[in-house]
Structure formats: C-alpha cells, structure tokens
Chain A
C-alpha cells in the first residue's frame, strides 16, 4: 500500500522531469557523392524513469538514434540535452566520462570480455570510476545478484550461455547506477525464454529502482511491456507504424 503510493508520487514527479531532449536531430552519412539521411530532424523527449522502446522497420534509423542519444556518435545537425547538459558542448573525453558515470549499455552481441570473469567484467566500470576494491566488488556482486547470476561470479564468459552473458552485460551496465540504460536489440540473439527473462529484468529494474531505459527492439510484442514506443520510419519519428 505504502509502496504503491510512493510509486505514484514518483511517476507524477517524473512527468515534468525530462532526462533526454532532442531538437531537430539529424544524422547524414556521406558515401562518396551519395548522401544518406539516417535520421531526419528528430525531436523527442524521454522522461526520467521511463521505459521506452524504439521500434520501426529495418533501416528506419533505430540504432542510429540510439547511438546519437548514447553519445557513441556525433549528429550532423540538431541538439541533444541529457540530464540538463547540452551535449554538443562536450569534448570527446568529457563524453567518455559522461558515458562512464551516467550511461549503461547493452548491445545485441554479448559484449563482455572473454579474458575476465563475470564479476570482473561487471566491476570494471566501477573500478574505472575510482572506487576501492571493497566497494567495486560489493557493487559488482549486488549487480550480479540483480540479474540472478551471483553464483556465477567467477565464471568466464565461455562457460556461460548467451542469455547469461547478456545478463552479465546488463549487470555491468547497471553497476555505476546509470541515469539511462541503453539497449540495442538486447534479445535478438536469444531464444524466447531467455528473451523473456531479459525483458522481465528490464521491467523489474524500471519498476523497482525507476531505471530509465531506452531499448531498440523489432519484436512487436515487446510494445506491450514498455511504457511507451517511439516509432521510426525513414529516419523520422512517426505516430504509429503503418
């Protein structure tokens, strides 16, 4: 009962609280003489605590949009404000620190390092933040706990299934308590059971700690689990896919 009230208040507070805002965001690729507009004047807001999906046909610009918002690429035009910071004013190394402190990423491929154990993969970003060994090990174990892999902490990636590796990647993305979790088709390489597990994990993270999540997906049924869907077609935000 208590929890429920708090949650409602939280959501209400967050309604006015925009964490990502873009204005006329464009990304054009130049290939020889050809110009390819992957994103065309995209204007959108994402609220703090929102679980949003980016959907659209293949080639509609979903990944491109996520890369711009996740500061992995530089837009050709337009502006991005994240957590009240105007991104175009940041240098490359400031962007790196910004990513380390505020973002978590989950890629389609299980992008964890094969030389390290699950725990080491997870605590690396916390170590890079300058925490003490005690702190980053504790946080790493907590994060593994959250994704249900605490007992696999000392396993190397090659000893884990794809779904488990993806959960390690999620734990790593969560360790620095990111403001935003970005995920680009995180379940594309997984079977349906593992996929469901990952989505439920996202859902729970969003519900329990108010994690803002921006996820690219092409699974239509994922639309039901998220708060909101941002539809893209030919690099533009549209009301609903036709």
Chain B
C-alpha cells in the first residue's frame, strides 16, 4: 500500500471513530447547525430565484408568450399575418399563435385620464397564448364579435389596490364608459366589459379590444403589430428560431427574454444581494464549524499528543479533523435540503409571498444547491483544518502534560 492511501485510511478511520463513537449529541447538534447554515444560504437564493421565475412566467403568461414575431426593420406592420402563422403552426412544439395590433392611446374616465398601450386581439387565438382571459376579477373577457367593448388591467381601472393607484382612472367598474383617444386622432367611447388582474404590474397596465374593432379604428386589414407564439416548453425557445426562418418567416423572431428587460434588471440586483448574503452565510457556517472543531481539538488535546507520541503523523491527525468537518458539512447539506423540500417549499406553496411580479414560491435551482453545498463543504474543510493544524503545532509534551 502506498503511504498516501495508508494515511488517508488512518485519517478516515480516526474521523469515523470520533464521529461514530464520540458524543451523539454534539454530532447531531453540529449537523443541525450546518443544516441551518445551509438553509440560510439557500433561502435567499431560492426566494430570488423564485422571484425571477415568477417574473419570467408572468412575462410569458401575461405579456409576450414564448416567442414574438415582429415586423422587419422600418416596417410598422406584418402584412398578412395569417400566411406567417400558417408556416409555423404545424411545427412540433408550437401550441398556439395570436396575431395582434398594439397601439398607444389615451384613456379617459370622468376627469381622469392616462396613456396606456392597447392590444387588439382575436379572443380565441389569445386564449391559446395568454392567461389574461383567465384572470378576470370583474366582468368578462372579450368575445370575437365585440365592437365598442374594452377590457382593462386593474392598474388602469384603479380602486383595486394597484401599486400605481394615483395614475389610474380612479375606480372604473364594469359597465362604465371610457373614452379612448388613439394616436391617429380617432376618439371612441367604449363600455368596460371586464377588469383583469394578473398580479403583475406590467401586464396590469394593458387594455384589450378586439382585432375587428381596431381595424376599423386604424382603417387597415390583415395586418399585425406582432404575433405571439406559444411553445410547449420554457427555456429552449432558441431551437425554434432557425426552424421558423427555414420555413420562410422573414420577420424578426425574438424569444421572450429579449423583452424581459425587467427580469434582467431584477436578476442583476438579486445577484449582487445574493453574493452578499452568500458570503455572509459561508462565513457564519465556516465560523460555526471552526468553533465546533476548535472545541473538539481542545478537548482532544491530550489524545492528539498521545497519537503523535506513538508515531501517528500530524498530517494524518489534521486530515482526520478535516474529514470530520466535511462529514458534518455534507450531512448538514443533506439535512438542509430535506428541510427545504419537506418543510419550506410546501409551506410557501401554501402561503406564497406576494410581490409586484406576482405570487412567489421558493425555487431551488440545482446549480444554486450545488454551488452552495460546495461552498459550505469548502468552508468546513478550511474551518476543520485551522484549529487542528494549530493544535499539532504545540509540542507533544505540552499536548499530553501541559496545561
């Protein structure tokens, strides 16, 4: 046997004996502390990841769906959107499309008014790409042949506890009439048919009318400002882009993240916060393990001296403490994951946190779990090394008989 494998074997043997036959209470308490340190490290990340995930889902479910097809540069509309839809609708993974007009408009009610975007949709198509039709809090969604009817988000309506109440119309209810001034100068009155709440401030700032109505306002036919495309999975939209081009789509094709500027901004500030809480978490976990190992080396001082006296190398002894620390950390990570998955995740599914981007639950990303565990284990290894290395610096006689 080579001397390094021998040394590893003896280190592991000592570590195993110290853990298995040492004080049960100390072992369990240490693992519990490590588990809490791990949960502490994971919790903020999971909240941030959950916020990011919620925001992404909101962007997809209530704003842009998975892929947006836009007019080529310099053009305002896509001509004959049906022909574009025909090209892609049979691509496997494409679930639905919704060609729509988007225009700015001023909406007024009594003495209040404001500028918002109005989308004009085919309600049947829209149901395939958006969850807004399912999020009516008052009234109903549009039907295909509605003409002077409009549905508005709660941030426009006001009176529903929106986050920008002061810019709203101040309490519009279903059945009220609002006046809409379009950018081309056309003014029309609309009956409010419904009010929706997506829990997402961005999509709550939209209003919807039917495509037919918009075409009569704009005086155009068979055009679209954008076509939203719903796909079956989130995250691999990229694979459709080339396919669409090959099928002869010459318009601009953009996956949702291009529009999710808000997600990127949020994620960036989360990353900074995350790094900070992470660093503090690792430090706390490291100090905890350090104290545990330190106490253990102090109480085993004489034993360590005896081991050295009978010819056990210092490196073997130090490594046995590193092994113990790593063992505590690994068990702590596992216990921490159990706490997360068995207690915290179900808890937040039952009682989600309410944020401007909607209801947020914990999202445990594999990557975060792996980096946090690795970080914790490395901190533990360092924290196990320092006190034991320090302890074997003293002379054997001091270790055995010193005070």
Query: Which residues of B lie under 8 Å from residue A93 when comparing CB positions?
Result: 313-314
Q: Is the pair A72, B396 in contact by a Cβ cutoff of 8 Å?
A: yes
Interface flag for B26 (CB, 8 Å): no
Binds A, one of B3-11, B90-98, B248-256, B347-355: B3-11
Residue of A70, A103, A128, A156 touching B6 (CB-CB under 8 A): A128
Q: Is the pair A115, B397 in contact by a Cβ cutoff of 8 Å?
A: no
Interface flag for B339 (CB, 8 Å): no
Known interface pairs A67-B397, A132-B1. Does A125 touch B311 (Cβ–Cβ under 8 Å)?
Answer: yes
Interface flag for B334 (CB, 8 Å): no
Binds A, one of B15-23, B109-117, B177-185, B238-246: B15-23
* Distance in angstroms between the alpha carbons of A93 and B315 in the assembled complex: 10
Query: Which residues of A lie under 8 Å from residue B6 when comparing CB positions?
Result: 127-130
Known interface pairs A116-B21, A130-B6. Does A96 touch B303 (Cβ–Cβ under 8 Å)?
Answer: no
Q: Is the pair A130, B3 in contact by a Cβ cutoff of 8 Å?
A: yes
Binds B, one of A10-18, A53-61, A105-113: A105-113
Chain A residues numbered 94-120 whose CB sits less than 8 Å from any CB in chain B? 96-101, 103-105, 107, 111, 113-116, 120
Q: Interface digits, A119-144 against B, CB 8 Å rule (1 contact, 0 not)? A: 01000110111101000000000000
Known interface pairs A116-B17, A127-B10, A128-B6. Does A97 touch B311 (Cβ–Cβ under 8 Å)?
Answer: yes
Q: Is the pair A72, B397 in contact by a Cβ cutoff of 8 Å?
A: yes
* Distance in angstroms between the alpha carbons of A67 and B21 in the assembled complex: 31
Q: Is the pair B17, A120 in contact by a Cβ cutoff of 8 Å?
A: yes
Known interface pairs A72-B309, A96-B314, A128-B312. Does A107 touch B400 (Cβ–Cβ under 8 Å)?
Answer: yes
Q: Is the pair A127, B22 in contact by a Cβ cutoff of 8 Å?
A: no
Q: Is the pair A103, B311 in contact by a Cβ cutoff of 8 Å?
A: yes
Chain B residues numbered 7-66 whose CB sits less than 8 Å from any CB in chain A? 9-10, 13, 17-18, 20-22
* Distance in angstroms between the alpha carbons of A239 and B310 in the assembled complex: 32
Q: Interface digits, B304-337 against A, CB 8 Å rule (1 contact, 0 not)? A: 0011111111101000000000000000000000
Interface flag for A227 (CB, 8 Å): no
Q: Is the pair B311, A100 in contact by a Cβ cutoff of 8 Å?
A: yes
Min distance, Cβ A182 to any Cβ of chain B, angstroms: 10
Across the interface, name the chain A residue whose C-beta is closest to B313: A96
Across the interface, name the chain A residue whose C-beta is closest to B10: A128
* Distance in angstroms between the alpha carbons of A129 and B395 in the assembled complex: 23
Interface flag for A241 (CB, 8 Å): no
Query: Which residues of B lie under 8 Å from residue A173 when comparing CB positions?
Result: 310
Across the interface, name the chain A residue whose C-beta is closest to B312: A128
Known interface pairs A73-B395, A73-B397, A127-B13. Does A115 touch B311 (Cβ–Cβ under 8 Å)?
Answer: no
Using C-beta atoms within 8 Å of the partner chain, give the interface range for chain B: 20 to 34
Across the interface, name the chain B residue whose C-beta is closest to A104: B310
Query: Which residues of B lie under 8 Å from residue A116 when comparing CB positions?
Result: 17, 21
Q: Is the pair B396, A111 in contact by a Cβ cutoff of 8 Å?
A: no
* Distance in angstroms between the alpha carbons of A61 and B314 in the assembled complex: 28
Residue of A72, A107, A115, A120 touching B18 (CB-CB under 8 A): A115
Interface flag for A172 (CB, 8 Å): yes
Q: Is the pair B17, A99 in contact by a Cβ cutoff of 8 Å?
A: no
Known interface pairs A73-B395, A113-B17, A115-B17. Does A127 touch B9 (Cβ–Cβ under 8 Å)?
Answer: yes
Query: Which residues of B lie under 8 Å from residue A97 when comparing CB positions?
Result: 311, 313
Across the interface, name the chain A residue whose C-beta is closest to B19: A115
Q: Which among B9, B21, B302, B314 has the greatest number of chain A C-beta atoms within 10 A?
A: B21
Query: Which residues of A lie under 8 Å from residue B1 when comparing CB positions?
Result: 130, 132
Q: Is the pair A156, B21 in contact by a Cβ cutoff of 8 Å?
A: yes
Known interface pairs A115-B22, A128-B316, A130-B3. Does A99 touch B309 (Cβ–Cβ under 8 Å)?
Answer: yes
Min distance, Cβ B5 to any Cβ of chain A, angstroms: 8
Query: Which residues of A lie under 8 Å from residue B312 when comparing CB positions?
Result: 96, 100, 124-125, 128
Q: Interface digits, A157-183 against B, CB 8 Å rule (1 contact, 0 not)? A: 000000000000000110000000000
Q: Is the pair B310, A125 in contact by a Cβ cutoff of 8 Å?
A: yes
Across the interface, name the chain A residue whose C-beta is closest to B16: A115
Min distance, Cβ A148 to any Cβ of chain B, angstroms: 21
Min distance, Cβ A85 to any Cβ of chain B, angstroms: 15
Known interface pairs A67-B397, A73-B397, A124-B10. Does A113 touch B303 (Cβ–Cβ under 8 Å)?
Answer: yes
Min distance, Cβ B2 to any Cβ of chain A, angstroms: 8
* Distance in angstroms between the alpha carbons of A129 and B9 in the assembled complex: 11
Known interface pairs A124-B10, A128-B316. Does A99 touch B18 (Cβ–Cβ under 8 Å)?
Answer: no
Q: Is the pair A128, B311 in contact by a Cβ cutoff of 8 Å?
A: yes
Q: Is the pair B13, A96 in contact by a Cβ cutoff of 8 Å?
A: no
Query: Which residues of A lie under 8 Å from residue B313 when comparing CB positions?
Result: 93, 96-97, 128
Min distance, Cβ A93 to any Cβ of chain B, angstroms: 7
Chain A residues numbered 60-99 whose CB sits less than 8 Å from any CB in chain B? 67, 70, 72-73, 93, 96-99
Q: Is the pair B306, A107 in contact by a Cβ cutoff of 8 Å?
A: yes
Q: A73-B395, A97-B313, A173-B310 given. 7 additional CB < 8 A pairs?
A: A72-B309, A93-B313, A105-B309, A113-B303, A114-B21, A115-B20, A116-B21
A–B pairs, 6, beta carbons within 8 Å: A72-B397, A96-B311, A96-B312, A96-B313, A111-B302, A127-B9
B: residues with CB less than 8 A from A are: 1, 3, 6, 9-10, 13, 17-18, 20-22, 302-303, 306-314, 316, 395-397, 400
In the A-B complex, the 6 residue pairs with the closest CB atoms? A100-B311, A115-B21, A99-B311, A130-B6, A111-B306, A115-B17
A: residues with CB less than 8 A from B are: 67, 70, 72-73, 93, 96-101, 103-105, 107, 111, 113-116, 120, 124-125, 127-130, 132, 156, 172-173
